[in-house]
Homo-oligomer: A and B are copies of this chain.
């Protein structure tokens, strides 16, 4: 058993309350007794029991960070950023992984409801479910959403403007003179992917280009899917001159297929990928990509949550951040 307040009180011949005051630097205790108490505490390596403390003052200094897939590089970076900010503010984070399972999400929600954490940040691509929605209705549940789209958004959230990101990428390709731009998007059920498609379509319309549905590939997620979609394309009549690929692994597969086919990037096919990881700079040629404002996503979300916890947020806030277009070789027209 570790040492408690009571033990120290006995050793110092004072009341527990005095010890508590001394240890917490509160007024109302003479310098001499304070020193005596502090000395005893240090000598015995006293650590206040945080559970008891939390129970008494209703503060745990912990928040939950709930991701849907811990594999996701981007999400991990956001977690890291949140951890950094949280640490500054004296908060610990509990890491949760729902593995895309709504039941898990629901169970993690009880961390909030059981007062283990003071707030929760949900990161991810899933539609906001009923459990989360319901929980958010209570003003006691401090919840911030990151990159999580809801059909109607009552939540305080930090969002990436996927649509505008892809819009910028598409416009860039158009400006480079490419006319037939294909897009490889992920799961049709993903609101995020839907947003990306919107941006693509908007850019075409904005430039008076005709939308060709044959150039839109949905549900291509993963290296293999990226590879295969290129093969499919080759059998079609309309060959595109540029690609936008909305997911990293898909992009890799696509690049492999293009190279295997004996074609060159950007000479035969221009290409813009998604996510600015080391991969995109190493691949041959260096890839133009859309880069998410990861750091800001993390810092804003924690700042919001802290405000919620401290009741400094009168009503839900939404912060929208735009991805940055990083132009490297893969999207530059060689012979303009």
Chain A residues with a Cβ under 8 A of chain B: 1-2, 45, 47-52, 54-55, 60, 62, 65, 70-71, 76, 79-80, 83-84, 87, 92-97, 110-111, 113-116, 140, 249, 252, 256, 278-279, 282-284
Contacts and interface: CB of A to CB of B under 8 A. Distances in A.
Considering the complex of A and B, which 3 residue pairs feature the smallest CB-CB distances, nearest first? A47-B113, A95-B95, A47-B114
30 contacts: A1-B140, A2-B114, A2-B115, A2-B140, A47-B110, A47-B114, A48-B114, A49-B114, A50-B111, A50-B115, A50-B116, A51-B54, A51-B60, A52-B55, A62-B94, A70-B76, A70-B79, A70-B80, A70-B83, A76-B76, A80-B97, A92-B94, A92-B96, A92-B111, A93-B94, A256-B282, A278-B279, A279-B279, A279-B282, A282-B283
Contacts of A111: 50, 92
Contacts of A96: 92
Nearest to A110: B47
Contacts of A76: 70, 76
A76 B178 CA distance: 40
A228 to B, nearest CB: 17
A95 B50 CA distance: 17
A45 B110 CA distance: 10
Contacts of A278: 249, 252, 279
A55 B49 contact: yes
Contacts of A279: 278-279, 282
A93 B95 contact: yes
A249 B92 CA distance: 30
A92 B114 CA distance: 14
Nearest to A80: B70
Contacts of A48: 114
Given A45-B113, A49-B114, A282-B283, A95 B71 contact: no
The winner among A1, A113, A283 for most chain B CB atoms within 10 A is A113
A62 B110 CA distance: 15
Contact of A95 (B2, B83, B282): B83
Contacts of A252: 278, 282
A94 B114 CA distance: 17
Nearest to A87: B97
Given A51-B51, A80-B71, A94 B97 contact: no
Nearest to A60: B51
B97 A83 contact: yes
The winner among A51, A71, A87 for most chain B CB atoms within 10 A is A51
